[in-house]
Amino acid sequence: DAKTTQPTSMDCAEGRAANLPCNHSTISGNEYVYWYRQIHSQGPQYIIHGLKNNETNEMASLIITEDRKSSTLILPHATLRDTAVYYCIVTRANDYKLSFGAGTTVTVRA
């Protein structure tokens, strides 16, 4: 699976959009980008995934660049409950295993 690079940490203001970048420059054509998050002392939670098109669900939006070498997870209106470690994971289609990297610690401040 392709490696991902994420900033170690970032802060954002409550009520503002949070934009979380992820680099995956060695991604292959059949690899998907997944985002999970882990709130303190809880299990990870699936957020969203995509292949090449932008995706949106009730939690977030995923923007993937045209060359697919990077992506951005957007939390449109961050709340204090969005404070968590966010993991960007690249994995092949039909691969049902995840390999977690270090992730980005996001702190939402009032």
Partner 1 sequence: DAMVIQNPRYQVTQFGKPVTLSCSQTLNHNVMYWYQQKSSQAPKLLFHYYDKDFNNEADTPDNFQSRRPNTSFCFLDIRSPGLGDAAMYLCATSRASGQGTYEQYFGPGTRLTVT
- By CB under 8 A, the residues from 37 to 76 that bind partner 1 are 38, 41-46, 49
Give CA–CA dist 61/92, Å, rounded.
21
94 lines the binding site for partner 1 (CB under 8 A): yes
Burial 14-27 (b: 16+ CB within 10 A, else e): eeeebebebbbeeb
Is residue 8 part of the contact set for partner 1 (CB under 8 A)? no
Closest contact distance (angstroms) between CB of 59 and partner 1 is: 12
Q: Which of 59, 63, 72, 101 binds partner 1 (CB under 8 A)?
A: 101
Q: Does 21 bind partner 1 (CB under 8 A)?
A: no
Distance CA 22, CA 95 (A): 20
What is d(CA 80, CA 50) in angstroms, rounded to the nearest whole number?
Answer: 26
Residues that bind partner 1 (CB under 8 A): 32, 34, 36, 38, 41-46, 49, 87, 93-94, 96-103
